[in-house]
Structure formats: C-alpha cells, structure tokens
Amino acid sequence: MPNIVNTFSIYATTVSIALTIIGGIALGTYTLGKDTSLGEISELKLQLSSYERVKNLDVQTLVKKLSQTAEKLSINVEEQRILKELKAKNILLTEALTTSENKLDSTVKLLSNIKLQNESLKTKLSEYNLNNKKFSVSKRQTIELIKGGTVLGLHDVSTFSSYAEFNVGNKKQKLEVGNSLLVNVSSKECSLTLLTVTYYDSAEFRLICPS
C-alpha cells in the first residue's frame, strides 16, 4: 500500500511540474513572438518548438498511469474486503464442519453400541428359546424336544383326571397337570411340566433346560 501512495504522489508531482513548464514556455514564447514582431508564422513556430521541448515528459502517459494506479488502488481495497469476508465465512464453515464430524462420530459409536447390544440380545433370546420351550402335542402323535434328539409321544389324556400318559426318552411316564419331571435332553437334565390337557385329546407342555 505505501508503494502505491508514493507512486501516486510522484506521478502527481511530475504532472504538475510538466504542466507548469508547458505553461511557462508557452507564455514566454507568446511574449517573445509579440516583442520581436515576427508575425503569426514565427509565433506558431516558436510555440511548436516549445511543445517539442517538453514532449519527452510524456504527460499523457503520466496521466494514464495515474488513472491506472487509482483504479488498481480501488480494486485492491475491494479485493481486500472480499477476501476478509471469505476468510470469515471459511472460519464459520470450518467450525460447522467440525461440529458435524463430531456429531457423526458420536452417531456411529452409538449405532455400533446398539448393534452389539442387539447381537447380545439375539444370542440370549436364541438360548432362551432353546432352553425354554412351550409346545402342544396331540394324542397318538410325537414331537422332538430338540431337533434330532429326544422325542416325546403322547398316548392318552384325561380331562376328568387332568393327566397325560406319554413316552419320553424311551420311558413311559404319567404326569398330572401342574407337575414336572426330569428328562435328559442332549446330555442336559431338563424339567418337563404338563400345563394343560384339552377335550381335543391334546396336551401342552413346557420344557426348561439349564443354559
């Protein structure tokens, strides 16, 4: 900025000097022409000679440069204003981006924790379903207590006496409603409870095995 101001001052001073010289020479020439009575032709020749003496000052170029310098100065000020605004906006955008990234990281961590908890619940539910099973079986039908394992076959039910006769693990059993017995299922000692018997010759059981 100081260089532009100094340049502007130098150009202005130079133009002022040039204009003063031109005016002085022209005035002196005009007076000389009058005093010597050379006539209009001589006067014009002297004026032309005076102009040629100062043509090396190139006043038009100086004026043009002054105009360009002033224009550049104005542009630089405007550019600085725009640059300042852009820097301020960039700071705001950077802060907003940082905040968004932090929120995204928190969300990703939360989703990861939820996923782990969900997997854990699925495992527990699967174990519960395997170890806590309620099922119904009709008279003269069988059901696997565990796939490919122990089988229960219902022989008879009595709604009047509320009991059921069945085979489980190749052993004949008789169980009243609400009572339980221990059965071996896949090397686990499980509890088998008779829940209900119906008029449709079916019985409902619940099997609970240790985890």
Residue 166 lies in a domain: yes
| Position 26 confidence tier, pLDDT thresholds 50, 70, 90 | very low
Q: What digits encode the pLDDT tens for the residues 68-110? A: 666 666 667 777 788 788 888 888 888 888 888 888 888 888 8
Residue 170 lies in a domain: yes
Residue 191 lies in a domain: yes
Q: What digits encode the pLDDT tens for the residues 159-183? A: 888 999 999 988 999 999 999 999 9
Residue 36 lies in a domain: no
Residue 159 lies in a domain: yes
Residue 163 lies in a domain: yes
Please state the domain count of the chain: 1
Residue 78 lies in a domain: no
pLDDT of 79 reads 76
Residue 59, pLDDT above cutoff 90:
no
Neighbour count for residue 181 (Cβ, 10 Å): 14
The whole domain housing 140 covers: 130-208
Residue 152 lies in a domain: yes
The Cα-based distances of 15 to 10, 18, 56 in angstroms read 9, 5, 12
Give the amino acid at 29. Answer: T
pLDDT of 136 reads 93
What percentage of the chain carries pLDDT values higher than 70? 60
| Position 5 confidence tier, pLDDT thresholds 50, 70, 90 | very low
